[in-house]
Structure 1
């Protein structure tokens, strides 16, 4: 496993507006997920929901290095990736509520949100289904000479899948502008990564395929952004793929309704006290950004999500005549 660059830019190295923007994106994801945790209890949301709270610094830290024309693939825990890549809150909420104004006309729901206009190839209900999609985008970029990159977000559980191994190998063989981001939140559903990942080192295992791989603290926005910057620059320069293992903790269960008996309440509270990306960011920018500015961002994010929920509830359902549209492609 290659060593990460020890010169990680800190808060003082970024313009004030960039810092506020990064926090705003993380705050929006947190507000979105916290509100869905509440809304799910009403029984008005069809399908399963897997919340991303606790991992915000990974999605934002990576996507802040990307262009709108770059592509990402996601997982079943995809809301954070969608928002970080530029999907809008209102049509996302409509999609989750199954409404016609949703990004996928209400047919995808939480686990299949996609928006190709911003380079979001889709959340994915298939564990390990994202890496092959990302290398497809990377191959397209290389073939067409667009200077684009393809990024896959994959969990620690998905890191064990054969599709992931095949994608890693193909990316190296074809020297693709691909980046594999492994979000290690320690739990593949209810199975600990310490048990399920035989090597106990996702980055090291990825490196064995012949590409640079680093492990970073996924709760530290600046560490993630720096690692992703190196990987993106390498990809755009034609030097091939890279992998990043980012460690974090999800604050909610595997899915909404998960009793979470594999973690104690004390453990979860400790995680929220010590490994919250938003709290850590606030500590890092103390003395550079006034806390009141960040409080205002939190309030605005919550208000935007409140508005989106109200809008989605009142929005129209898809017409029954549309049931077979956007299902099959004709070539």
Structure 2
């Protein structure tokens, strides 16, 4: 499927927003202004955008502790997210969610999650709602290579198969579960997708550092699931450029490993190279997007710094919901 010029620019803009959002947080967290743990998504942008470009606001996603990229790819407000991370009451969750618990149900983003593997059961529940309503929508459970070892994930996959829920399990294999390499942590068979296959669902695999590979693969997966065939799973081989959390010294990395990844498996650099060499976009078009994104991120940070913080009177607000 040939993407239009507008589609390509939108995909690049969203990947660039994620990259610059995270790069700026990498700088700002070092100042001590932002409270709590933060896990950056740099390096994995092609997965979030390649998946979410196919989705509407009515399709649901559930994220992980490394959730900024998924939120931004799903269309969550950049400034509202920055304010949330800064702990402002003007943030998407009124400053109560922070980095690991951002959500925006209007965009179909059901939340990041600080517990590894905890998102998969939620995604299956959302998928069952879509099935009961018969609206053709799907639910996406984003997980990492660490979550593939969690019982919650196994139970969710089995239940999705039993109920034929329109749920897609997206595994982002960035090769490190916290600080432990996937070669050690994922048993004898290193193929994560085959675990899902063992439950009886169809699986796909693709290069998660190639936006076009992700986009084309997800088109196939979504056509299959939306047609009523039940759940599916896809494993994207990708990389993270920063530590498990901000402050992680990454001593578990091999000599020169990060330099090689930045040079060879940088999804944004590779995207630019492909579209310019194929004359799909000009470098000037992409440079203009870069400038606009940097301005947006700068405005977001400045507004977040000056945004009001929650007060003691806000402590009981938005804690419970009435059905």
Q: Secondary structure at the match of 2:256?
A: helix
Q: How well do the aligned residues superpose, as a CA RMSD in angstroms?
A: 0.9
Distance 1:279 1:267 in 2: 18
Map of 2:37 onto structure 1: 48
Where in structure 2 are the equivalents of 1:1-331 lying within 5 Å? 9=1, 13-198=2-187, 199-264=189-254, 266-286=256-276, 287-331=279-323
Q: Please tell me whether the aligned partners of residues 103 and 115 of structure 1 are also in contact (alpha carbons under 8 angstroms).
A: yes
Distance 1:134 1:230 in 2: 20
Cα distance per residue 1:133-176 (max 9 Å; x no partner): 11111000000111110001000001110000011111111111
Distance 1:91 1:289 in 2: 30
Q: Secondary structure at the match of 1:42?
A: coil
Deviation larger for 321-330 or 277-286: 321-330
Q: Please tell me whether the aligned partners of residues 231 and 241 of structure 1 are also in contact (alpha carbons under 8 angstroms).
A: no
Distance 1:278 1:42 in 2: 27
Q: Secondary structure at the match of 1:181?
A: strand
Distance 2:265 2:168 in 1: 25
Distance 2:218 2:80 in 1: 28
Distance 1:265 1:99 in 2: 40
Paired positions, count:
320
Distance 2:58 2:250 in 1: 38
Q: Secondary structure at the match of 1:252?
A: coil
TM-score (norm 1): 0.95
Deviation larger for 57-66 or 298-307: 298-307
Q: Secondary structure at the match of 1:206?
A: helix
How many Å apart are 1:328 and its aligned residue? 2.6
How many Å apart are 1:41 and its aligned residue? 0.6
Distance 2:73 2:287 in 1: 20
Q: Secondary structure at the match of 2:285?
A: helix
Distance 2:37 2:155 in 1: 28
Q: Please tell me whether the aligned partners of residues 152 and 181 of structure 1 are also in contact (alpha carbons under 8 angstroms).
A: yes
Distance 1:265 1:258 in 2: 16
Deviation larger for 259-268 or 114-123: 259-268
| Structure 1 stretches lacking a partner, 5+ long | 1-8
Distance 2:254 2:305 in 1: 35
Distance 2:235 2:284 in 1: 33
| Distance change >3 Å, CA 104–CA 237, structure 1 → 2 | same
Cα distance per residue 1:54-104 (max 9 Å; x no partner): 000000000011111100000000000000001010010000000000111
Cα distance per residue 1:246-292 (max 9 Å; x no partner): 01110000000101101146110110000000011111112221111
Distance 1:49 1:18 in 2: 30
Distance 1:143 1:102 in 2: 33
TM-score (norm 2): 0.97
| Distance change >3 Å, CA 83–CA 282, structure 1 → 2 | same
Cα distance per residue 1:204-237 (max 9 Å; x no partner): 1111111111111000111111111111111211
How many Å apart are 1:303 and its aligned residue? 1.0
Distance 2:312 2:66 in 1: 28
Q: Secondary structure at the match of 1:87?
A: coil
Deviation larger for 302-311 or 280-289: 280-289
